[in-house]
Amino acid sequence: MSHYIIIVGCGRLGSLLANSLSSAGHQLVVIDRNEAKFDKLSTEFSGFKIVGDAIEMSVLRRAHVEKADYLFAITTEDNLNLMVAQIAKIAFNVPHVIARVYDPAREAIYGEFGIETISPTKLAAQAFLDIMRKDV
């Protein structure tokens, strides 16, 4: 089944996700402030690119957030990700919203707000500890 997926932030993670989801047949919209970031998208990427700041409602409307099945907020700014995720969920009723949050303390709070979060810091720490446990 094909989903309508919006990715905010086209850095290393954003472009990786966009490329693989697009080639899997999903409909993609990628938003980034910096047009040069779109260079990381593969030539097979068939989705839309929007240059703009995703905390502006007008940019989200242009991306047709109201139709999205998924929104991933994965810029390098925790607060921006948290704000976009909440707007998508509350103002546009996007069913699945995930925000990347580097600060583990902040991540814990927003779990309680009903926003799904991924903390790379926590994940990496866990991966390190898992390897260590195997060795010891």
Partner 1 sequence: MKARIIIVGGDKNVYFLTRQFIQRGDHVTIINRHPIRSRELARQTKATVVLGDGADISRLEEAGARRADVLLSLTSHDQDNLVICQIAKKIFGVPRTLALVNDPDNEVVFQKLGVDVVFNKTKVIVSMIDQIAHFEDIATLMPLAQGRINVTDVVLDAASPAVGKSLQELQLTEGSLIACIIRNDEMVVPRGNTRLLVGDHLILISQPETHEKDLIILCGES
Residues in contact with partner 1 by the rule CB under 8 A = 55-58, 77-80, 82-84, 86-87, 90-91, 103, 105-106, 109, 112-113
Nearer to partner 1, 14 or 47 (CB): 14
Nearer to partner 1, 49 or 106 (CB): 106
Nearer to partner 1, 25 or 114 (CB): 114
Nearer to partner 1, 21 or 84 (CB): 84
User: In the bound complex, what is the minimum distance in angstroms from residue 107's beta carbon to partner 1?
Assistant: 11
User: In the bound complex, what is the minimum distance in angstroms from residue 109's beta carbon to partner 1?
Assistant: 6
Least Cα distance to 63 among 81, 47, 50 occurs for 50
User: In the bound complex, what is the minimum distance in angstroms from residue 59's beta carbon to partner 1?
Assistant: 10
User: In the bound complex, what is the minimum distance in angstroms from residue 44's beta carbon to partner 1?
Assistant: 33
Residue by residue, what is the 3-state secondary structure of 1-56?
CCCEEEEECCCHHHHHHHHHHHHCCCEEEEEECCHHHHHHCCCCCCCEEEECCCCC
First-to-last alpha carbon distance for the chain, in angstroms, is 44
DSSP string, 114-127: T-EEE-HHHHHHHH
